Structure 1
C-alpha cells in the first residue's frame, strides 16, 4: 500500500507540471491586451486581435492562422482554423470532402453518406463587419482562448474532434481598427460616445453587408473567394442591434424570407437559432427573442444570408448594444409601454429585467451563442454534411423540372460590357456559365454562337434565380385591411433591370440540340485545391474593361473566362465617336483628358461623344482595353445647337461629418469611371 501510494504521488508530481505548463502556455487575451475582453471603456483593435491569434497559434497545435487577403486600406485579413491537431494534420482531406459534398454532380447518395461520416463540419464564425457593433470583435479572442485552453474538457473536446472552426477576428479589419482607436482616444472626454467622422469601411460603411452578390468591395471578394475554396456548412456573423429591450435576436427570421432559399437549409437555420436560445437559457442568459418585424430574410445582398442560396446555413444574430464599451443602466421606464409587464411570450420566453448592460454582457452572450452553434455542428456533423449534398442535389433536380430552365444572355447588348459585369459576378460566386458553340433556336429566337447560357440544373442555381428573376414583394399588412408593413431592406433588385442587360428566361427544358452546343466557360470545380489568399493589388489591371480593379474577378477561372466581344472601330478619320449607352465611354473620356491632355477634346455631338486629338494608337488602345464599340469619322457635321464642347468636369461631393453611405457609393461609382470628386464639407458653405 505504501509503495503504491508513493508511486501514485510520484506520478502526480511528474505529470502535474506538464498539465500546468500546458495551461500556462496558452496566453489569455488579458495577458496580451492588458484588459479582459469586454471590460468597461476598453476596446481591442484589429492589430491587437491578430497579434493575439498569432501568439495562440505559436503556443498550441490546435490553431493554424491563415491569410485570407487584403482590405481596402491594405491590411492583411486573417482567419484561424481551430480544431484538433489530428484534424488539422488532415485538413486537405476534410476540405476536399466539404467541396465534394458542395458540388454533388455524379456523387451517389451512398457515397455522399460515407463522405459525411468521414468528414468534419466546417463552421465560419466571425467578429462581425459593422464595426461600431463592437462586441463581436471582442468576443472572438475570448472564444479562441476558451476553446483551446479547455481543449480536453468534456464539453469542448467533441467540438474540436468533429468541427473545423474558421474563426475570423472580424470581416472588416479596417473598421475595427478605426473604431477602436477612435473610441479609446475619446474615453473620458465629452466625445466618448461620438461617432467616427468617416465611414468605417471604405466607400460603403454599414452597406458592407449589402454587397453579397455584386461583390463591388474587395472585402466582399475576399470572403467569397475564401468560402468557395473551403465550402463551410455554417456561416455565422455577429451583429449588435437587438430590438429593445430584448438582449439578443435569433433566427427564425421575420417575414418575408427569400423565395428561392432552399427549404432544407432554411429549416437548418431555424434549428440552429433555437439551439442558441436553448444554450442561453441553460446558462441563465435571459432575453432571447426570434422573428418579430425587424430582421427579415427577403434580400440576398447580405453576406450573412446570400450563402443560403448556395446551400449553406448562413445567418446572423443581433445582441443588445448601448454604445461602444461604455456601460449603461436601464430602468423599467426606458422600456416600451407594452413590454413593462415582463410577460413571457412564445418567442420571448425569458424577458430581460432592467438593469446594467455592459460590453462584457454582450461578449458573454455572443460567446454562448457561438459555442451553441459549435455544439450543434459537433452533434449533427453527419447531418450537416449530408444536407449540404442533398440541398445541392435538390437544386439540380429542380432545374430539370421547373422553369426557368435556363437564362440566355446574348453578347449583343446595349452595353456589351454590362452583361459581362453581371456574369462575372455570378461566376465568381460559383454559378456556372456556358456558351453555345453554334447558332441555336430557343423559344422561337435564334441565338448566334458565343451566346451565354446559365442552366438552372446546377447546385447554386438558387442564387441565379434570386438575382435574375423579377421580385414580387408579398402584400404584408400590419393588420387585415391595414397599411402595408415596411420592408426591412430592399424589396427588389433584379439585375437585368438594374444593369440594363437583356436576359431571357427559358420556360421550356433545353433540348438535346441546344445542350449539344453548350461549352462550359472555365471548368468544373476541382475537389483538390490549394487555398490561396485573395490579393487584389497586382501590377496590371487583370480586366481593364470591368469595374473591379486589380485582380478583380480573375482569381476565379470561370469568371476570368467571361470576356466581352473585342473592341471594334468602324470607319476612318481622326475623330472617335462613342455611344454613352456604353458605361466605359466615360472611362474613355477621362483617360483622353488625363493621358492625352495636350490636345484631346470631347464634344457631345447629337447623342454621341466625339473625342478628337488622339493618335490612331491612342484610339486603338482605348477601344481595345475597354472593349468599346466605336466609329471613326473625318469630321462632325451637325445642325446648329446640337453640338457642344465638354470640359473635364470638376465634381464636388458633399460629405457631412456624420458620414454618408450615399456619398460613399457615389464616390466609388465616380472613381471607377475615372472621375476625381473633391469632398465638400459643411464648413465649406
Structure 2
C-alpha cells in the first residue's frame, strides 16, 4: 500500500458479532489520536455521512455511525490514517458462516454494551433506524457491504480533487508542523546490543510507510539526555487528578501585581534549570535516521515515541473511556532496541533506506571456540540450527556477557556458522577471553496445546517458534489425555485466550459436531500434574495460569482478581518489569524490560500450597508505581507495583513457569522473547530453571 498504490482512500470491510447493529460506518468515536491531521477526521465524517445516507436510502436498517469502534492506533489497514490516507472501516454483523441466523430483539438488546457507545438498543442519533431482529443471511451481509463500497466509489469519483488535494495539503502541513515543533530526528545506532532486532524494527517501519534514511558515514548529533525515555506529556497526561487540580488553581486568589516581574524571572530560571543536558554523541556509519519532517509524522510519533495517553471518562465522574485497541505501540520498547531522539539539527550524509538488514563481519578463525552473543535474540535461532545439525552447543559467561559457544575442533562448526551468520546476520567471534561457567545445551522437546479452542494466542506462539526454527508438537485433547507425557516432551506451553472451562470441558454437543467436542478432561489435568512432577516444565501465558491456580494447589494468587474496574484502568500498554538477573530465564536480557500488557496478572503469595516447593519471582512489575508505566496510560499503578510478573514454581521434580503477560504478544515483543526461549533449552538432563 505504501510502495505502489499509495491511495487517497482505503476501505477495509470486516465482520463483527451478530448481536447488535447490522453495520458500523465511520466516523469513529472518541478517543482518537490528535497527532493525525484534523482534515482526516473531517473527510471521514464527510465520507461516512454519504455511506450512511446511501444505506438508509436503500432501506437498510441497523446502521450505527460515530459509535462502538474506538480505534486509536495501528490497527490493520487503518494505519493509513497516520499517512494522510482516509482509512475507512466497516463492520457488518456476521451470520453462521454461510448459514442463515435468526436473531431476536432480546439478543440485540443484550449486545448493546454501554462501554462501546450504545447505552441501549434503540433510537439515538448514532443509530436512527434500529433493526428489530429476524433472519440474517449471508446475502444480507453482501447487500450491506456492496452498498457501502459503491458509496465510497461514487463519492470518490464526484470529489476526487477534494481527496487528491486534501492528502497533499495534509502532508505539506504535517511537514511544516514537524519543522516547527519537532522532533528533528530519531537515530537508531547500528552498534548496539542487538543490531539484528534494530534492523528488523527498521524493516517494519519501512513496510509501514515510514521514511527511514541510512547514514553513509559516521556523524555526530547532540542528544538531549532522557528526551526519548522521559518525554513530557504534550497535553496527553495520564494524571487522573489533572482536571481537578486545574479547577483548584482557578480558585486561587490573584497575586499582587508588583510580584509579576519577579515571578516571570523565576519561571525563566526554572525552565533553564529543567532543560535536559545535551551530549554530543558519535554514530557509526549505516546507522538509521528517522526524520520528523515527513508526511507520516503521526506514524513516527505513534511507533517510536513513548506515549502518555490522556485519561477520559464516558461522562464526568463516569467510567473510564476505553479504546477498542491499545494505548501504546512504542516499537523500540517492544523490540528491545536502542534509539535516541534529537530536536537539534545535525549534518549527516544519508541515503533513503528501502530495506534493512545486518551484514555480519567476515568469519574469523578460532583455535578453541566460536561464540555468539546471547544478548542477540536471533542467536537462539542460530542455536536451534546448530543443535539440529548435531553440533555441541554450550552456554558460557564472559567479560562481554553471556555467550553460546561451539568447539572450533568440530569439523562442521566453521562452515555451518558461516552459513548461519551470512543468512541471519549474527556476529561470530573467535576465542572470547575469560570464559567460565559453561553448560551444554540441548533442545527441549516442546508441545503447544491447541485443542479445539481456536486461540489466536496459540497461533501467535506457533508463528514465533517457527520463525526462530524451533521444532515442536501440536497437542490436541487426546494427546494430553494420553499418559506418559514426560516420556515424549520436556516443555508444554498452554497459550492464553483459552478459558479454563473450554480447556477442560471443551465444546458441548450443541456447539460442535462429533470429533470436535470435549476438552482435556480431569484425566488431562492429572496428566499435566504428573508431567511436571516427573521433571517437565509447564509454561502458561497470562490467563492460561487458571489451570495452575485452581488445580495445582500452588501458594500463589492473582492479586488483581478482586480489583474493581474503577480502581485499575490499564488498556494495552507497555509496563516495566524488573528482572532477577541471576535467574537462568533472564540470561541475555537487561535488568529491566518492557512487557506488553494486554490484560495480565500480578502474582502474590498465599498461605497454602500442598505440592509446590519454592516459588521465585523471575520478574516483578516495577516496585515504584511512578516507574511502572513506560508507554500508554494507567490509573491505579499501585495495584501492580512490586507484584510478580513471571514466576518459577517448583513442583515435584519439575517447574511451572507462569508468565503474567503474553511474552510473545502478536509476534511483536522481540524484547521479551528470550524470557521464553531460555525455558526451551535444557542442560541435560535438567531443565533451564535448574541451572544454578
TM-score in terms of structure 1 length:
0.56
Q: Distance in 2 between matches of 1:238 and 1:314?
A: 11
Q: Distance in 2 between matches of 1:368 and 1:651?
A: 49
Q: What is the CA-CA distance between 1:469 and the residue it aligns to? A: 0.9
Call closer, same or farther: CA 1:616–1:395 in 2, change over 3 Å. same
Pairwise mapping of residues 323-362 of structure 1 onto structure 2 (< 5 A)?
323-336=96-109, 343-362=122-141
Greater RCO, 1 or 2 (C-alpha within 8 Å, sep 6+) = 1
- Aligned match for 1:623, one of 403, 417, 421: 421
Q: Which string of whole-angstrom CA distances, capped at 9 and with x for unpartnered residues, describes residues 574-616 of structure 1?
A: 3222221112211221221223x2xx10112233222223443
Q: Which residue of 2 aligns with 1:430?
A: 209
- Is residue 481 from structure 1 mapped to residue 317 from structure 2 by the alignment? yes
Q: Which string of whole-angstrom CA distances, capped at 9 and with x for unpartnered residues, describes residues 331-351 of structure 1?
A: 333332789997421111112
Call closer, same or farther: CA 1:349–1:592 in 2, change over 3 Å. same
Q: Which residue of 2 aligns with 1:297?
A: 71
Q: Which residue of 2 aligns with 1:582?
A: 376
Call closer, same or farther: CA 1:276–1:680 in 2, change over 3 Å. same
Does the 8 Å CA contact 1:567/1:626 hold for their aligned counterparts?
no
- Aligned match for 2:305, one of 469, 472, 485: 469
Does the 8 Å CA contact 2:123/2:130 hold for their aligned counterparts?
yes
Q: Which residue of 2 aligns with 1:446?
A: 281
Q: What is the CA-CA distance between 1:494 and the residue it aligns to? A: 0.5
Does the 8 Å CA contact 1:406/1:456 hold for their aligned counterparts?
yes
- Is residue 656 from structure 1 mapped to residue 451 from structure 2 by the alignment? yes
Call closer, same or farther: CA 1:352–1:340 in 2, change over 3 Å. farther
Call closer, same or farther: CA 1:264–1:393 in 2, change over 3 Å. same
- Is residue 246 from structure 1 mapped to residue 21 from structure 2 by the alignment? yes
Q: Distance in 2 between matches of 1:497 and 1:393?
A: 30
Does the 8 Å CA contact 1:655/1:679 hold for their aligned counterparts?
yes
Q: What is the CA-CA distance between 1:473 and the residue it aligns to? A: 2.9
Q: Which residue of 1 aligns with 2:3?
A: 228
Q: Distance in 2 between matches of 1:390 and 1:327?
A: 46
SS in 2 for 1:644: strand
Q: What is the CA-CA distance between 1:243 and the residue it aligns to? A: 7.4
**Greater shift after overlay, 495-504 or 327-336?**
327-336
Call closer, same or farther: CA 1:629–1:343 in 2, change over 3 Å. closer
Q: What is the CA-CA distance between 1:568 and the residue it aligns to? A: 5.7
Q: Which residue of 2 aligns with 1:119?
A: none
SS in 2 for 1:336: helix
Q: Distance in 2 between matches of 1:317 and 1:431?
A: 26
Q: What is the CA-CA distance between 1:482 and the residue it aligns to? A: 4.1
Is the strand fraction higher in 1 or 2? 2
Q: What is the CA-CA distance between 1:357 and the residue it aligns to? A: 1.9
Call closer, same or farther: CA 1:634–1:233 in 2, change over 3 Å. closer
SS in 2 for 1:309: helix
Q: What is the CA-CA distance between 1:485 and the residue it aligns to? A: 3.6
**Greater shift after overlay, 477-486 or 608-617?**
477-486
Q: What is the CA-CA distance between 1:630 and the residue it aligns to? A: 3.2
Q: Which string of whole-angstrom CA distances, capped at 9 and with x for unpartnered residues, describes residues 266-293 of structure 1?
A: 221222111110111111112211233x
Does the 8 Å CA contact 1:577/1:610 hold for their aligned counterparts?
yes
Pairwise mapping of residues 15-34 of structure 1 onto structure 2 (< 5 A)?
none
Q: Distance in 1 between matches of 2:302 and 2:281?
A: 26
Q: Which residue of 2 aligns with 1:667?
A: 462
Q: Distance in 2 between matches of 1:335 and 1:592?
A: 57
Q: Which residue of 2 aligns with 1:208?
A: none
Aligned length: 410
Q: Distance in 2 between matches of 1:340 and 1:499?
A: 39
Pairwise mapping of residues 446-595 of structure 1 onto structure 2 (< 5 A)?
446-450=281-285, 451-508=287-344, 510-511=345-346, 514=347, 517-522=348-353, 558-559=354-355, 562-564=356-358, 566-567=360-361, 572-595=366-389
- Aligned match for 1:603, one of 382, 394, 403: 394
SS in 2 for 1:297: coil
Q: Distance in 2 between matches of 1:670 and 1:372?
A: 43
Does the 8 Å CA contact 1:243/1:249 hold for their aligned counterparts?
no
Q: Which string of whole-angstrom CA distances, capped at 9 and with x for unpartnered residues, describes residues 313-372 of structure 1?
A: 112111122322222333333332789997421111112223222221221111111111
Does the 8 Å CA contact 2:25/2:66 hold for their aligned counterparts?
yes
Q: What is the CA-CA distance between 1:565 and the residue it aligns to? A: 5.1
Q: What is the RMSD computed on CA atoms of the aligned residues? A: 2.5
Call closer, same or farther: CA 1:398–1:580 in 2, change over 3 Å. same
Q: Distance in 1 between matches of 2:167 and 2:119?
A: 43
SS in 1 for 2:31: strand
TM-score in terms of structure 2 length:
0.56
Q: Which residue of 1 aligns with 2:568?
A: none
Q: Distance in 1 between matches of 2:170 and 2:435?
A: 61
Is the helix fraction higher in 1 or 2? 1
- Aligned match for 2:91, one of 313, 318, 335: 318
SS in 2 for 1:360: helix
- Is residue 405 from structure 1 mapped to residue 184 from structure 2 by the alignment? yes
- Is residue 417 from structure 1 mapped to residue 417 from structure 2 by the alignment? no
Q: Which string of whole-angstrom CA distances, capped at 9 and with x for unpartnered residues, describes residues 437-475 of structure 1?
A: 332232323223422211121222322222011122331
Call closer, same or farther: CA 1:439–1:330 in 2, change over 3 Å. closer
Q: Distance in 2 between matches of 1:616 and 1:347?
A: 67
Call closer, same or farther: CA 1:460–1:635 in 2, change over 3 Å. closer
Q: Distance in 1 between matches of 2:282 and 2:120?
A: 66
Does the 8 Å CA contact 2:28/2:69 hold for their aligned counterparts?
yes
Does the 8 Å CA contact 2:185/2:292 hold for their aligned counterparts?
yes
SS in 2 for 1:229: coil
Call closer, same or farther: CA 1:423–1:331 in 2, change over 3 Å. closer
Q: Which residue of 2 aligns with 1:378?
A: 157
Call closer, same or farther: CA 1:348–1:312 in 2, change over 3 Å. same
Does the 8 Å CA contact 2:95/2:101 hold for their aligned counterparts?
yes
Q: Which residue of 1 aligns with 2:58?
A: 283
Q: What is the CA-CA distance between 1:566 and the residue it aligns to? A: 2.7
**Greater shift after overlay, 436-445 or 654-663?**
436-445
Call closer, same or farther: CA 1:243–1:334 in 2, change over 3 Å. closer
SS in 1 for 2:394: strand
Call closer, same or farther: CA 1:621–1:334 in 2, change over 3 Å. closer
SS in 2 for 1:371: helix
SS in 2 for 1:454: strand
Q: Which residue of 2 aligns with 1:271?
A: 46
Structure 2 portions without partners, runs of 5+: 113-117, 224-278, 481-692
Q: Distance in 2 between matches of 1:637 and 1:409?
A: 31
